[in-house]
Amino acid sequence: MDDLPFETRLGEYLISTDPGKLDVAAIHAYLTHCYWSPGIPLTVVEKAIRGSLCFGLYHGGNQVGLARVITDGATYAYLCDVYILEQHRGHDLGKWLMKTVMSHPVLQGLRRFTLATRDAHGLYRQFGFQPLADPERHMEISVPDIYRTK
């Protein structure tokens, strides 16, 4: 889906869709402790990355953020796993990451682009995301503790 890497720079930071640049161990380390995927296994992260368009955020060659998009590249996309490491927050990197995601050629002309967030509504509103227009039409199967060991 993303044959040629899409890259942009801002000062010492780089955003790239090159899968070869992704630090899967760093991504897993973050995701396993965040509210939306506690305890997620490394094998699941690897599989998710293979099936997604990933925007890695790098500083000095180290991965410091991510935005992952699941899409068919024609009609629908789902934005998930968006994060920036705490020590790199406060520099508008989230806005830059979102601007980069929203400008990617594969993500243009989609009928629907969705996401779920607990606490970043203000950021996503700046890029046109709104509450569901017809929530009664949407359904889900939700297993929030799927990765927690019993």
Whole-number pLDDT of residue 64: 98
The DSSP output letter for 75 is S
In a domain, 53, yes or no: yes
**In Å, how far from its chain's centre is CA 111?**
19
Structure tokens that stand for 22 in this block: 């992704």
What pLDDT score was predicted for residue 150? 53
pLDDT at position 99 is 98
* Residue 23 resides in a domain: yes
| Position 17 in a domain | yes
| Residue 109 lies inside a defined structural domain of this protein | yes
In a domain, 136, yes or no: no
| Mean pLDDT, each 10-residue run in order, the chain (150 residues) | 83 97 98 93 97 97 97 97 96 97 97 95 95 93 83
| Residue 42 structure tokens | 């490394």
Residue 147 lies in a domain: no
How much is the pTM?
A: 0.94
What's residue 144's pLDDT?
A: 85
- Confidence at residue 62, expressed as pLDDT on a 0 to 100 scale: 97
pLDDT of 148 reads 80
Q: What is the pLDDT of residue 2?
A: 54
- Which uninterrupted H or E stretch holds 102? helix 93-103
In the chain, how many domains are there?
1
State the CATH number of the domain containing residue 86.
3.40.630.30
Range of the domain at 73: 7-130
